[in-house]
Amino acid sequence: MVARNSDKFIVSYNRIDQLMKDLLGTNEHMAFFRLIDFAKKKNAIIRRYEADLREFGDLRNAIIHHRTSLEYAIAEPHDDVVKKMEEIEGALAKPITVAQMFQTNVTIFQETDSLSYALKVIKDKKYNQFPVYKGNSFKGLITPVGITKWMASKVDSDSFSRKRTMLSEILAHESNRDNHRFIQSKASVFEAVDIFKSSVTRGRRLEALLITEDGKASNKLIGIITPMSLLKIE
């Protein structure tokens, strides 16, 4: 017997209900909408799908409370509703992490590297942001804005050399030194989206999220996320 959409919907709904309880560390009975209220404070995936979950909560109540027999449901959800519900369930059960999507071999630069060398790497690898270190110590993120401001500062100079200019000098021209944040590898991609959005709301737009295993600058850099790279999941 082929499962009806209402049955598949209810099964997925119940699993999401339990996943939110697991997230909150409780097995106490709690209304679905109240679970959403609490869970969204801790989980970016719930925040991402909050409107859908609330609509689906209303639909679930209509199906359950108006059912007059096992064979009859007042509402049979459309295929795309069931698909969306199962998508949310999957995102909660097995979140796609930033490491899964963005981990790569990151080219890092030293303060003593020349601008000429950095520009060559930018040309070859199509980078727009690049991390600068002093040994193993992270010093900052250089962006096209910083390079442009450095060039503007030299406009009245008789001469300047890209080969002699070190990246430490360019870094000093980054007006927003707080243009990045570190994020741990197991964070979900929706958490990364939230971080970028909240930075815009605060008026301090981030240029990149830098991925390390534990989200600390002292660890090895294993990936970079930019706002543009996240457009594929929005």
pTM of the model: 0.82
Classify the phi-psi angles of 126: left when phi > 0, otherwise alpha if psi is within -120 to 50, otherwise beta: left
Query: Would you call 123 exposed, middle or buried from its count of C-beta atoms within 10 A (0-12, 13-18, 19+)?
Result: exposed
Whether residues 52 and 109 share a domain: the answer is no
Question: What are 27's strand-pairing partners?
Answer: none
Q: How far apart are CA 199 and CA 178, in angstroms?
A: 11
Q: Tokens 């390079």 correspond to what residue?
A: 147
Count of domains observed in the chain: 2
11 lies in the same domain as 112: no
Kindly state whether residues 64 and 105 are assigned to the same domain.
no
Structure confidence at residue 158 (pLDDT): 63
106 close to 127: Cβ distance less than 8 angstroms: no
Co-location of 54 and 37 in the same domain: yes
Radius of gyration of the chain (CA): 24
Per-residue model confidence (pLDDT) at position 130: 86
The verdict on 66 and 177 lying in the same domain is: no
DSSP annotation of 95 reads P
**Given this model, what pLDDT does residue 1 score?**
56
**Residues 6, 77: contact at Cβ < 8 Å?**
yes
The alpha helices in the chain, defined as continuous H runs, are 5-24, 32-39, 44-48, 50-65, 79-93, 98-102, 115-125, 144-153, 167-171, 189-201
Residue after which a domain boundary falls, among 73, 94, 115? 94
**Token pair belonging to 70:** 């096992």
Report the CATH number at residue 120: 3.10.580.10
Cα separation, 202 vs 212, whole angstroms: 24
- Statement to judge: residues 120 and 22 lie in one domain: no
Are 79 and 188 within one domain? no
Going from the first residue of the chain to its last (234 residues), give the mean pLDDT of each consecutive group of 10, the final group possibly shorter.
Answer: 81 96 94 96 95 94 66 72 96 95 92 89 79 93 85 72 81 80 95 92 88 95 90 64
| β-bridge partners, 208 | 180
Same domain, 110 and 18: no
How many other CB atoms are found less than 10 A from the CB of residue 64?
Answer: 13
